[in-house]
Amino acid sequence: EAAVTQSPRNKVTVTGGNVTLSCRQTNSHNYMYWYRQDTGHGLRLIHYSYGAGNLQIGDVPDGYKATRTTQEDFFLLLELASPSQTSLYFCASSDVGNTLYFGEGSRLIVV
C-alpha cells in the first residue's frame, strides 16, 4: 500500500514565525507535490519536485520555499508566516502513471 506521511498534523504559529512542514513517501515515486486546500479554491499547487535536489514552481509559490532532500523526503518552508497562509496543506507523490497518492494533511493556523 502506497504511503505518504505528513508532519506535523496540526500547527499554530504567530505571524512572522518560521514553519517547516515535512512529507515522507515510501512509494519509490519520483514526483512529490505540495498543495494547499482552501474553501472556494479547491487544491492549489505550491511546489513540486521530480527528484532529489529538484524543485519546480507551482501556481501559488509566493511566500513558500521547498526542498527535496532525498527521493523520500519533501519539505515545505514558510520563513515569515502570514495569516493568509492559514490553510490545510497536502503532500502527494506520484509515479509515471500520474495517479496522486496523498497524505492526511497538515493544518496550519497563523495568528
Is residue 2 helix, strand or coil? coil
Task: Give the x/- contact pattern for another protein in 36-75, rule: CB under 8 A.
Answer: ----xxxxxx--x-x-----x-xx----------------
Residue 81 CA to residue 1 CA, distance in Å, equals 34
List, in sequence order, every beta strand (DSSP E) within 15-86.
19-25, 31-38, 42-49, 56-57, 65-68, 73-78
By the rule CB under 8 A, 102 interacts with another protein: yes
Asked if 3 interacts with another protein (CB under 8 A), we say no
Kindly tell me which residue out of 19, 25, 66, 103 binds another protein, with binding defined by CB under 8 A: 103
Tell me which residue of 23, 26, 41, 10 sits closest to 90, measured CA to CA: 23
- Which residue lies nearer to another protein by CB, 28 or 41? 41
- Residues touching another protein, count (CB under 8 A): 28
Closer by beta carbon to another protein, 14 or else 96: 96
Contact 32, 56 (CB under 8 A): no
Which residues contact another protein by CB under 8 A? 4, 31, 33, 35, 40-45, 48, 50, 56, 58-59, 90, 92, 94, 96-105
